[in-house]
Amino acid sequence: MKQIRMVIRGRVQGVFFRKFVQDTAVKLGLSGFARNLQGGEVEVVAKGPDGMLQELIRACQKGPMLARVEDIRVEEDVQAESHSGFEIK
């Protein structure tokens, strides 16, 4: 198990991005959370098998239909936190 943190920039707030991430993460069996940041970005922390985390990263690069992703910063091996399920904060 591994944990990553992503900060996604672009048109990602107000376009159901966090719900998209939650639905994708649940399908992939990941735990963690997605939340809006004050600067207009979305932060995602996810924990699970490396292959499933890579799938989540690829999905976030596209995002939901109304989103426009400009940049994703991924930090790997961040300090693991305990999460049960995947929540929207």
Q: Active-site residue numbers?
A: 18, 36
Answer whether 84's CB lies under 8 Å from 31's CB. yes
Yes or no: say if 35 and 69 are a contact pair by the CB < 8 Å rule. Answer: no
CA 58 to chain centre: 10
